Amino acid sequence: MSRVKSFFTQIRRYPSAVVGMVIIFLLLAVSIITPILIPYSEAVRLWRGGEEIWAEYPRNAWPVWYNWFSSTDLPNTIVFNSGQGDGVQSRESLSADTTELHFTFEFDFPYDEFPPELILFAKANYEVKQPFLEMTWFTPDGREIRIGEFSPGASSSFRFSQDSRLQRRLERETGIDGVSAEQGLFDDPAQEGLQPLNGTYRLEISALLFEEDSNVDVTFVSYGLVHGLAGTDHRRRDLMLALLWGTPIAMAFGLLAALGTTVTTMSIAAIGVWFGGWLDALIQRMTEVNAIIPLLPILIMVGTFYSRSIWLMLGLVVLLSIFGLSIKNYRAIFLQVRELPYIDAARSYGASNMRIIFRYMIPRLLPLIIPQIVTLVPTFVFIEASLAVLGLGDPILPTWGKIIQDANSQGALFNGFYYWILEPAVLLMLAGLGFAMVGFALDRIFNPRLREL
Amino acid sequence: MTRLLRYTALRLAALFFTVVVGVYITVLIANMGGYVDEIRRGQIRETIVLTASANEEFRKLPEAERNAIIEERVAIQEQRYGLDQPFVIRSFRYLSNALTLNLGFAEGLTSDSGSRLVKNIILERLPSTLVLFGTANLLLFFVSLFLGLSLSRRYGSFFDKLVLALAPTSAAPGWFYGLFLILIFAGLLHLLPFGGMVSAPPPDNPIDYALSLLKHMILPVTATLVSAIFLTIYNWRTFFLIYASEDYVEMAKAKGLPDGMIERRYVLRPTLPNIITSFALLLITLWTGAIILETVFNWPGIGQLYFKAIGIYDTPVILANTVVYAYLLAITVFLLDFVYALVDPRVRVGEGSQGR
């Protein structure tokens, strides 16, 4: 206990290490909480489930905090779902078969930009005759605009911008050629050019049902330009999920790979030094061959030909790093350790070879190893990200690298969707810096020779 | 001089052996469980069926006869590719083919000149990679050496502490900083291009061409530098500090030798072999990082070729590229070994392990 305490008093002298520890702690906390809050199967469903799961999210929306820094207020997504009792609904029986449903959605629009999309989703159930929907738009300044009408099927949608009659009507209304439905409906006619009019808008939908058991549920979505704390990608998925789930994956990959490679490499170096002779020579030659085998290309090859599973990649990384070049460093130190008197003492009381290697030689190197492991973690976190950026990320799990790859292949930097790259990049950076800063400080604590420098 | 030549020849032989073993392992991994052979077989069959069914005469034949003809042609073709031999023999054939980059035709990619030979595709792209990484690594070596030396002279100063504080940034690879650099200099400021090697269309005038090349190189080179330089400076400065406290340096100081001379003869000279070794290790990691750096910067080198080949599952190109990387690593190791021999008088021929 006192050793742990003295360790913490020592590390407190390095402010960067304290910052690093906080970062690592936060990342680990996220790694533990995320799988509990969003179980694996749920995460996979949310990330790969299909269009209907993210249909109500906007496409390529900035995170909401963008509004805090920007002078223009970007619109949020506004959703009215009659199935969940949003808006005002009324029902009127016109005849034995015919019923009229009436939906009124009223919302406030205080934003400085037009929404990118307006869609009305309708789910109707009927036997023969489809219901009939009619939509009317009321602007804050009291104008009334007929939007159009359509007959919904079991699951259909009405995209405002794809209705050419509505567009022509809006062109007449605003006097601007080529105006889109979204712009036309929210435009302030009192101002020159296109400027959204702020105030309370109302969408009225009347649905005629021609059968006794027929019913219709409508969902109106006015898509925003900002969404959630992380924004969305080109397929409307909420990036938050991938950012959260990327954390445990990155941590697990980095920690396991760093631990695995260091422990195996050190053991092999110790065994080689202890037994010496041809075994040592063989290990040396293997190390040289291994230095020629390029790690990333091999991973790429395996990823392309066999499997992209992240755990296979992890196994390969460890396997290919067993004979890493650090064997040479460990070997140099073990050669000195071997000659120390306490090893002779162990031998004289008859300790077995394995006991000497694993109980006497390796523990001697632990102070050197711990900073090494911590500093290695980011390397592997970035290897995972690198593979994902090349399109060889795990096929199922969302990871930080896969977000960057999606963003890169969609030209996020070129098109100005900076948040899309910055969010995973900042997380990668935090993970990298956190471990590296702690590793550096540990190095200085455990290797006093460096401390004065 | 003969000593040096013999050392070089021995190292070269040892390295060649290493490359052979390395490439053999690569071939084994690439063809794990005959997987690539299966792909090959499938392709052979598909091409033969396609060409045969395009033939009018052939389609009129009864089915049994048609199948017999296809089987026969497949067998001939498989024999031509040597697919009927046992794997051990085949693997050695692949090895010799791989070593000479004689990997036949790419399945989907072509070189800019239109050739489908894997060798041509790769050789065409090699110079761009070498230009970019040669420049970046040389710059990295000399800049960090110079700065490391000057910081060791003034350790404890503000810049020293700054480098120490910035050293953890080297945890991220070059492509990662590349993303940020593109965002700032291309996306926001519009000062430099988003990627590519020269502007399109390439300028005819050699001077304009060189200028355009330089302009495109600024960001990738900076990205490489940023990703490695602080840690390298920090390591070397620590190195110089340790060596500067040796007795013979104190002795030189006591003799009243000028600082410059002490640095050159008493500090730099004996540490040079170690510095070169650490640089070799750095280069090896940088080479692998190059694949993604080129992809991010759309640089038409062999790294980006990888990216393209993965996209369309072009097996021969991926395999050949891996071999080329093995060669590049071997050449790097060899060049540095050679320089090592030049600067370290203690190198004794016949001793496999280096100076340590």
Residues 6+ apart with CB under 8 A from B197: B128, B213, B216, B299, B300
- Note whether A77 and A57 are within 8 A (CB): yes
What confidence tens digit (pLDDT) does each residue in A398-449 have?
889 888 888 888 887 778 888 888 888 889 989 988 998 888 888 878 776 6
Per-residue pLDDT of chain B (356 residues; tens, 9 = 90+): 677 777 778 878 888 888 888 888 877 777 665 666 777 777 778 888 888 777 777 777 777 887 888 888 888 877 777 777 777 777 787 788 778 777 677 766 777 777 777 888 888 888 888 888 888 888 988 898 888 888 887 877 888 888 888 888 888 888 888 888 888 888 888 888 887 777 777 778 888 888 888 888 889 999 989 888 888 888 888 878 877 778 888 888 888 888 888 888 888 887 777 777 777 777 777 777 778 888 888 888 888 888 888 777 777 787 788 888 888 878 877 777 777 777 766 654 444 444 33
Give B315's contacts in chain A (Cβ within 8 Å): 305
Q: Which of B25, B183, B353 sits opposite A293 (nearest CB)?
A: B25
Give B330's contacts in chain A (Cβ within 8 Å): 292
What backbone phi and psi angles, to 5 degrees, belong to A124? -115, 145
ipTM: 0.75
d(CA A201, CA A138): 6
State residue B354's pLDDT score: 41
- More confident position, A349 or B270: A349
CA distances from B122 to A301, B103, B288, B305, B309 (A): 17, 11, 16, 8, 11
Cβ-Cβ contacts under 8 Å between A and B: the total is 150
Closest CA to B199 of B218, B215, B185: B215
Q: Which string of b and e fits B239-266 if b means at least 16 CB within 10 Å? A: bbbebbeeeebeebeeeeeeeeebbeeb
Give A440's contacts in chain B (Cβ within 8 Å): 167-168
- More confident position, B188 or A26: A26
Residue A1 has pLDDT above 70, yes or no: no
Give A433's contacts in chain B (Cβ within 8 Å): 168-169, 171
Distance from CA of B15 to the nearest CA of A (A): 9
Decide if B310 touches A, using CB distance below 8 A: yes
d(CA A195, CA A212): 45
| Residue whose tokens read 């102070």 | A367
What confidence tens digit (pLDDT) does each residue in A144-202 have?
888 888 888 888 888 888 888 888 888 888 878 888 888 888 888 888 778 888 888 98
Query: Between chains, do A298 and B29 touch, taking CB under 8 Å as contact?
Result: yes
- Which tokens is B30 given? 């690439």
Q: Is B59 exposed, middle or buried (0-12, 13-18, 19+ CB in 10 A)?
A: exposed
State residue A255's pLDDT score: 92
Residues 6+ apart with CB under 8 A from B204: none
Q: Nearest chain B Cα to A387, which residue?
A: B292
State residue B241's pLDDT score: 81
3-state secondary structure of B316: helix
Q: Nearest chain B Cα to A440, which residue?
A: B168
